[in-house]
Amino acid sequence: MNFQKPAATVLAMLYTLPLIAGMAHAAAPVSVFVDELDEARQVRVRPLMDPFATLGSLKPHNMPLPNLSGIVANRQKVLLLGKALFWDQQTGSDGVACATCHFAGGADNRITHQVNPGTGDIRFTGGDSAFGGLTAATNASVVSPGHSSGKSSGGRDLGNNQTLDYTDFPLHRLENPLDRHSEVLYTTNDVVGSGGSFGGMLVEATRGSTTDKCQPGKGDVFHSGGQALRQVTGRNAPSVINAGFYRRLFWDGRANSTFNGEDPFGGRNASAFVVEAVGLTTVAPRKLALTNGQLASQAVGPALSEVEASCGGRNFAELGRRLASVRPLQTQAVHAQDSVLGVYRHVSGKGLNTTYSTLIQSSFDSKWWRGQGKYRRVNGTLVADPNGYTQQELNFSLFWGISIALYEATLKSDDSPLDQALEGRIMLSEQEMRGAFVFANKGKCTDCHVGPMLSVATPLLVAEPAEPGIFAQPDALNVARIDAPFATAMPVMYDEGWYNLGLTPTAQDLGIGGNDPWGKPLSFSRQVAEPALKVDTFPFNACWFEKPITEIPPEACTHAVEMAAFKANEQRLGVDGAFKTPSLRNVGLTAPYFHNGGYATLRSVVEFYARGGNRRGDGSEDPEWEFNDNSGTGGLGRGHPVIDAGVGSNVLGIEPLFETDPDEPEFFPEETKQLTDAEIDDLVAFMLTMTDRRVQCRAAPFDHPALSIPDGHLVAPGITGNAKDFYTVLPATGASGVADAQCFVNSGDLFIR
């Protein structure tokens, strides 16, 4: 990674409580503290990195939004529309809303019927449909013991509609959690995702109805007793809070920073268009390309996903037609003091006192809804059809994306104890400050979790560095190039902020190494390496690469000269199996963790990093360096000669915290080689300071309507079709939030909530 680090990688000193407790915030870099024990042993020590030097309060920053001139007529009404659409169960085909998977700290902490057996695993034709331990897979170097098939990590029978418990985690269990090479007791390609839609094909979206009429769900993987169950997503739901600070959204970055008004893919979809009124009555197709539109691009994705929220075959025009005359949230309680919705609350206490059509027409410029006639989208063109859709219906994806984006842009959590400490308003506790030093030094967490968003994947917060080689957060570069972890391998190019840590085998899920629906790479790095496939516009400067392409002195470097010397076959791409570095904000509320939901507690996450990630190779690549390849994939593509030669890894790598630096072993007294239990406790305590209490207690801007959340199924014998749902009801909250006893528990533990 491309940011300036301390001279070595592991903290080699003991610090004292009085010194730590005295730090409320960082006014200047911390000096070297040399403890007498170290002096007596004549052990050289390095300076402690100021734990706050690479962090920052989020308060001065706002999420960037597109220029909406000529599109939005009333921003407050658009915000109202966006919050209603986000929380309204009527928007899903069968009673789910966006909020169904983002209600707890912006994420999903349900534990019943939340397991996907690996339906996205590309090693299996059509995906894996068997739950439990992975005992065999193509190119799998690490598998689970044979007796674990159909079982959870703790040995319980595992299948649909089950409630998880502690023993079911982690999804990759080792004999020694701090030794990546210890015996694998259990591993699986199962994912703890989110229960969504039943699926089934759309039959009819009746005007004014609260749900769609659909055929029974597929029931091919998710079924019980002959009844279809809700499908479960193949990735864990990331938080929507603060999401607009990322340039690209979803774990694999497919939600483009340019919004085309129709789907998540920006300019990649050459057929996308919106419909604009010309004059008083006629309409015409228009291409839309709104920069800083990543929130809108993300918002329009799940709404039509038959796994997440929709029947198969539904489009936004059908949804817009059904909802036009519907009162927003009419089946859900709205708090009288809701910070956005309260003024428009219906006298019944449920829903709003208006309709979706009225809201749209009072929110958006009339040129997006006033046109006459009916039309259809046909192969990227607009065709008149008396049985088609109105302009307002055809543009419902535009209204949906922009309004939800404006709502989500208000979901900025910038008043955590960490923010308050960084601003000098409070002092953290002694334990929290001990954890802050572990975070910045021995734990090396700031390698990836830096800046106001605590993530290197947020270039929109980062200014360009002052000069080559000196920068704190170079993620504005988008594309990075570093020396390979193997001395004999080629340099590695990768998308800054997107890493393969060996969490899961690369072939299980390619992440940002995958393609869009038109076969074009999601990865910026792959687009640089293969210019014929370039479809995105993104800034980067080869002069800022940590591993230069040429030996030109930095002061004489130009991007053009560097790229003229670039040869794709002289580097590997570390993008297959790479996923976005998530923010740690509100991390105490967002268990389970990682893109596969494989870890239930922050402590187990720290153990994962402390051992250097998960071993995914057979250990034969290099006995002196333990970054093993993830199931034979990587390089410029699967089967690249460097990978075949066994000298390259697609895992960018994290060093085990109990390893010493081979170049400077004298920096490491024996007792500082490994995180102790106390240090892990301190580190977790520090991470819990990143939670904003307004999020925890659902106070404005995080207040919301009531939500009935599907939480498992009642499977009754002798019944066919879709199984009945059990529901958990999240009560409506107002601007002041809820009482302490009703707040989410900031525990960093899926089972303490």
Cα 360 to chain centroid distance, Å, stands at 30
Show the tokens assigned to 572: 């590997």
pLDDT at 248: 95
Q: Which of 281-285, 385-389, 455-459, 627-631 has the lowest mean pLDDT?
A: 627-631
DSSP-derived secondary structure for 384-428:
E-TTSB-HHHHTHHHHHHHHHHHHHTT-----SHHHHHHTTS---
pLDDT at 744: 97
What pLDDT digit, counting tens, does each position of 298-348 carry?
999 999 999 999 999 999 999 999 999 999 999 999 999 999 999 999 999
Cα 15 to Cα 25, 47, 445, 698, 699, distances in angstroms:
17, 11, 18, 38, 38
pLDDT at 486: 56
CA quadruple 552, 554, 557, 562: dihedral sign: positive
pLDDT at 130: 97
State the CB neighbour count (10 A cutoff) for residue 76: 12
Phi, psi of 374 (to 5 degrees): -130, 150
**What does the buried/exposed string (b/e) look like for 164-188 if buried means 16 or more CB atoms within 10 Å of the residue's CB?**
beeebbbbbbbeebbebeeebebbb
Q: Can you tell me the distance from the alpha carbon of 61 to that of 90, in angstroms, rounded to the nearest whole number? A: 34
Please calculate the CA angle 540-544-550 and round it to the nearest 5 degrees.
110
Q: What is the dihedral of CA 504, 507, 509, 514, to 10 degrees?
A: 140
Show the tokens assigned to 474: 């170079």
Is 80 exceeded by the pLDDT of residue 235?
yes
Cα 591 to Cα 233, 252, 601, 677, 747, distances in angstroms:
16, 19, 7, 21, 9
Mean pLDDT for all residues in the chain = 85
Q: Can you tell me the distance from the alpha carbon of 679 to that of 682, in angstroms, rounded to the nearest whole number? A: 5
pLDDT at 142: 83
3-state secondary structure of 481: strand
Q: Can you tell me the distance from the alpha carbon of 295 to that of 412, in angstroms, rounded to the nearest whole number? A: 13
Is the Cβ–Cβ distance between 81 and 359 less than 8 Å?
yes
- Determine if residue 25 is left, alpha or beta; phi over 0 gives left, psi from -120 to 50 gives alpha, anything else beta: beta
Give the global pTM. Answer: 0.90
CA quadruple 562, 567, 570, 576: dihedral sign: positive
DSSP-derived secondary structure for 608-634:
HHHTTS---S-S-S-TT-----STT--
3-state secondary structure of 299: helix
What pLDDT digit, counting tens, does each position of 72-114 carry?
999 999 999 999 999 999 999 999 999 999 999 999 999 999 9
Pairing of strands 492-495, 572-573: parallel
pLDDT at 634: 41
Q: Can you tell me the distance from the alpha carbon of 69 to that of 82, in angstroms, rounded to the nearest whole number? A: 18
What pLDDT digit, counting tens, does each position of 119-167 carry?
999 889 899 999 999 999 877 778 999 999 999 999 999 999 999 999 9
pLDDT at 267: 96
